[in-house]
Chain A
Amino acid sequence: MILVIGYGNLLRADDGIGCVAAQWLEQRHGDWQVQISHQLVPEMVTGLAKADQVIFIDAREGGQAGTVICEPLEPQDGGGAFTHHVSPAGLLSAAQELYGATPQGWIISVVGAVFDYCERLSPALSTKLPALLDEIEGVIHSHILVRE
């Protein structure tokens, strides 16, 4: 099972790109489990425990706006799934510790331009949104699913 978790703050402009992308993927891939969230929360670990692959989609700062970066994730111990700073790697670790589950983890980060108070994506992302979403989907197919 493929689990996509798109997260970010939709009130902080480009920080919400992960949510936008996940919503779009949900419409196109009915067989994927998709979660959209303001932030990562510990309870997500139950979903990870059932997944073969989990793909986190988030925004990041720094670099050319609209750049899509895909990186593999490794579990990272240290309670990172159960604090105010829940991390993707911490959730992977929690899935392993609590349920013995070892889904492959990936994080797709989209470089944003604006993270100020705003309910819309910045022009830097919104003007190329269709291409950006296609690119994210392409990355999933070419870098992640091909390794199944």
Chain B
Amino acid sequence: MSQRLVIDPVTRIEGHAKITIQLNDAGEVDDAHFHVTQLRGFEKFCEGRPFHEMPSLMARICGICPVSHLIASGKACDKLLAVHIPPTAKNLRRILNLAQITQSHALSFFYLSAPDLLLGMDADPAQRNVFGVAQIQPTLARGGVRLRQMGQQIIEILGGKRIHPAWVVPGGVSEPLTAEKRDAILAMLPEGIAITQQTLKWFRGVLDQYADEIGVFARYRTLFMGLINDAKQLEMYDGHLRIMGAEGHVLADDLLPDQYEQYIGEAVESHSFLKSPYYKPLGYPNGVYRVGPLARLNIVERCGTPLADEELEYFRTLDSQSSFHYHYARLIEILFCLERIKELLHTPDILSERVRAHAQPNSTVGIGVAEAPRGTLIHHYQTDEAGLITRVNLIIATGHNNLAMDRGVLEVAKRYVHGAQLNEGMLNRVEAIIRAFDPCLSCSTHAVGQMPLQLQLINRDGQVIDEMMR
């Protein structure tokens, strides 16, 4: 008789999810799925609101990456105003976004994944936390705390508060940067860069211990997508979208973010509230792609900052298809972010007081695209002539990765799950593949009306033998 193993809830991710693994008669994995079981509804309840409220409303999607939503929403609102925001405002937004990526990556690597990486996935779960890390590698644990704090402090310096800052507004930012604040941020950066370099050195030294996981962790061929600048370097705020094939060839380049609907489709699966975006020309589900740190480093030719580019050289020797290397990519991106913040703070006009373009709404469609910590973030608003929101479509980084995570779960389950006996190490490996993507489910579950609440009892032949719906 077939059996189903359920891991519920998945721990150490942002939000709530469960994984189900379907076993066949022989006790081997037949199928597996990653389920997102929460519903938010942001796309629906924003309808009717004045467009200028959107940045603040969108920031409330998440307590981890509110800044990413602020940035994408601010950009979408700029389009509704049909203005070019002042260059200083753009650079200040860039710094805010880079600080956000720094703190979020630090959270993911040091707090959520380092316990597995340092202590081993078969370690006692009671020890597999940051305290366990602190006992063996106190420097690593302290570094993680400091890096996250640094990202949060930069956000607070710029935006007034760590979580849900209201500094990004349609047309730019609400206040210019002062010399005092600039210097405070600059003073932090050398420490952050040093911590990141030390961590990269340590992580590089232990990668060999994870050869098995590297070979299995969602190691399959997919496309990769992300923003890229004119120099084909890492771009977190602006630029064009590039889609790269599994063999490393550029499949589509210089795609206009505003035209995302032409090349990104959105499917809905019955087992999850998470949408399943795909690359339209390849259809569904063949158009599965990955976004986020691994994808971004795979699609660029250079990072564009000296230290990150040095690390990228080594990264190029790693298996670019293994989702395990999201972890390594995350560290390189922290390095890039800190270097780039320094560069931006030294631009001549960074203290300019021209930081906001004022206008009335001049368009009824606004699309804002930026790179969030977990990947490409798309905000698409439509308004009526009075500027009231009539439609919202959000494609969140975690959503882009939905199909890849689903396949990752299956690959890992096939490798590590044998028979009906569960053990912690195996369970954690299944969960760890999800954590490698660093999914933020709070952000990604906002569709409403697309999937009824459905409970099905399915036998091994796939027949629904009982069903509840509402």
Contacts and interface: CB of A to CB of B under 8 A. Distances in A.
B131 A42 contact: no
A98 B134 contact: yes
Contact of B148 (A38, A43, A78, A94): A43
A97 B146 contact: no
Interface string A70-85: 0000000111011000
A45 B129 CA distance: 16
Nearest to A38: B163
A117 interface: no
B67 to A, nearest CB: 15
Contacts of B218: none
B149 A98 contact: no
Q: Which of B126, B145, B148, B152 has the most CB of A within 10 A?
A: B145
B131 A79 contact: yes
Contacts, number: 42
A32 interface: no
A41 B138 CA distance: 19
A43 B131 contact: no
B38 to A, nearest CB: 14
Contact of B142 (A77, A93, A99): A99
Contact of A81 (B126, B130, B135, B149): B130
Interface residues of B, number: 17
Nearest to B153: A43
A97 B149 contact: no
Most-contacted residue by chain B among A42, A46, A98 (CB, 10 A): A98
Given A79-B129, A94-B131, A99-B142, A42 B111 contact: yes
Interface string A90-112: 00011001110000000000000
A98 B138 contact: yes
Contacts of A77: 131
Interface in B24-66: none
Given A38-B163, A82-B111, A98-B141, A46 B131 contact: no
A93 to B, nearest CB: 7
Interface in A28-59: 38, 41-43, 45-46
A40 to B, nearest CB: 12
Contacts of A78: 126, 129, 131
Contacts of A42: 111, 130, 145, 148
Contacts of A41: 152, 162
| Interface residues of chain A: helix, strand, loop or mixed (majority) | helix
A79 B142 CA distance: 14
B132 to A, nearest CB: 8
Contacts of A98: 134, 138, 141-142, 145
Q: Main secondary structure on chain B at its contact with chain A?
A: helix
Interface in B258-308: none
A98 B131 CA distance: 8
A121 B148 CA distance: 32
A99 B138 CA distance: 8
B130 A79 contact: yes
Contacts of A43: 145, 148-149, 152
B123 to A, nearest CB: 13
Contacts of B162: 41
Contacts of B152: 41, 43
Contacts of B126: 78
Interface string B138-167: 100110011011001000000000110000
A45 B145 contact: yes
Interface string B84-116: 000000000000000000000000000100000
Interface in B311-333: none
Interface string B319-350: 00000000000000000000000000000000
Contacts of B134: 94, 97-98
A135 B130 CA distance: 38
A38 to B, nearest CB: 6
A46 B142 CA distance: 9
B383 to A, nearest CB: 27
A19 to B, nearest CB: 12
Contacts of A94: 130-131, 134
B64 to A, nearest CB: 10
A46 B141 CA distance: 12
A46 B149 contact: yes
Interface of B: 111, 126, 129-131, 134-135, 138, 141-142, 145-146, 148-149, 152, 162-163
Given A42-B111, A78-B131, A98-B141, 19 more contacts: A41-B162, A42-B130, A42-B148, A43-B148, A43-B152, A45-B145, A46-B145, A46-B149, A77-B131, A79-B129, A79-B130, A82-B129, A94-B130, A94-B131, A97-B131, A98-B138, A98-B142, A98-B145, A99-B142
Interface of A: 38, 41-43, 45-46, 77-79, 81-82, 93-94, 97-99
Shortest 10 CB-CB distances between A and B: which pairs? A79-B129, A43-B149, A82-B130, A97-B134, A98-B134, A82-B111, A97-B131, A98-B142, A98-B141, A79-B131
30 contacts: A38-B163, A42-B111, A42-B130, A42-B145, A42-B148, A43-B145, A43-B148, A43-B152, A45-B145, A46-B145, A46-B146, A46-B149, A77-B131, A78-B126, A78-B129, A79-B129, A79-B130, A81-B130, A82-B129, A82-B130, A82-B131, A93-B131, A94-B131, A94-B134, A97-B138, A98-B138, A98-B141, A98-B142, A98-B145, A99-B142
